[in-house]
């Protein structure tokens, strides 16, 4: 926490720059919702879901992704530290290397993306005809989404202990997963949806619990009880990610710099 505050204080020395970067992040990520609005200007539904429902799925996914990115997104830059030798310095400090990676060059502009996604989610909730007795699932799904996305980022970082020249492999699952969950999974092929449910469980970020909140049937006919397995999926993937990270640390050999 202290390391993150230190980076924020450093950025605050240039308040205009910090404000512009934050606003810029808000506006740029807002282009994603602009695309959805353009789509709905030509159709009444997307994958069988209305505009408020899609905004809800986008908002919950966006908040989870933005918070995970803000707190742990730097983990995907591990290969840069390994190649430059700066990761060696992290190993000898009395702080977890994972924490140091997460807060390295922490910038205030990341709040812009979180604010944008939260704004979309709030607007969606005001427009939804949602059974409010199901609203308890919303904070739980956001929390589980943060854990799931962080776990995917951690797995991507662990891969870079071995494949230091291929961070794009990790990005395919992190940023690619963020893009995947912005839309109803019903717009994708059945095989992709099953892979996102049973292999890399990104469907539990917002899709399966979202079906419960919206009181919608699963378009693929998957079991109803899957909607409540978000915490189980998050815990399982977090354990796998922690094991992979520790295995990567044990395998790591100093660059000698």
Q: pLDDT tens-digit profile of 42-70?
A: 888 998 899 999 999 999 999 999 899 88
pLDDT band at 236 (very low <50, low <70, confident <90, very high): very high
* Degrees to nearest 5, angle at CA 181 with 180 and 183: 85
- Give 110-145 pLDDT, tens digit per residue: 777 888 899 999 999 999 988 888 999 999 999 999
What percentage of the chain exceeds 90 in pLDDT?
Answer: 41
pLDDT band at 10 (very low <50, low <70, confident <90, very high): low
pLDDT of residue 126: 92
Q: Report the 10 Å Cβ neighbour count for 82.
A: 18
Return the higher-pLDDT residue of 71 and 15.
71
**Over 70: is that where the pLDDT of 18 sits?**
no
pLDDT of residue 72: 85
pLDDT of residue 3: 59
pLDDT band at 165 (very low <50, low <70, confident <90, very high): low
**Over 60: is that where the pLDDT of 1 sits?**
no
DSSP for residue 76: G
Number of Cα atoms under 13 Å in the Cβ half of residue 145: 29
pLDDT of residue 175: 80
**Over 90: is that where the pLDDT of 212 sits?**
yes
3-state class of 48 per DSSP? Answer: coil
Phi, psi of 72 (to 5 degrees): -135, 5
**Over 60: is that where the pLDDT of 192 sits?**
yes
Compute CA 24 distance to the chain's CA centroid, rounded to the nearest angstrom.
19
């Amino acid at each position: 926490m202290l390391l993150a505050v230190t980076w924020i204080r450093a950025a605050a020395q240039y308040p205009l720059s910090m404000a512009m970067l934050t606003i810029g992040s808000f506006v740029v990520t807002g282009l994603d919702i602009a695309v959805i609005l353009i789509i709905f200007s030509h159709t009444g539904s997307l994958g069988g879901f209305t505009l408020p429902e899609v905004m809800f799925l986008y908002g919950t996914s966006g908040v989870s992704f933005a918070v995970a990115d803000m707190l742990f997104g730097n983990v995907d830059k591990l290969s840069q530290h390994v190649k430059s030798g700066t990761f060696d310095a992290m190993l000898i400090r009395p702080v977890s290397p994972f924490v140091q990676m997460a807060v390295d060059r922490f910038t205030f502009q990341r709040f812009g993306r979180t604010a944008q996604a939260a704004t979309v989610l709030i607007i969606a909730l005001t427009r939804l005809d949602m059974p409010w007795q199901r609203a308890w699932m919303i904070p739980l799904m956001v929390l589980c989404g943060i854990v799931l996305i962080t776990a995917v980022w951690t797995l991507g970082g662990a891969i870079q202990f071995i494949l230091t020249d291929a961070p794009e492999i990790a990005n395919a699952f992190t940023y690619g997963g963020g893009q995947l969950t912005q839309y109803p999974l019903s717009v994708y092929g059945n095989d992709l949806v099953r892979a996102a449910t049973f292999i890399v469980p990104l469907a539990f970020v917002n899709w399966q619990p979202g079906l419960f909140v919206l009181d919608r049937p699963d378009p693929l006919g998957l079991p109803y009880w899957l909607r409540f397995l978000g915490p189980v999926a998050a815990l399982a993937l977090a354990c796998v990610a922690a094991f992979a990270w520790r295995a990567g640390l044990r395998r790591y050999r100093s660059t000698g710099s």
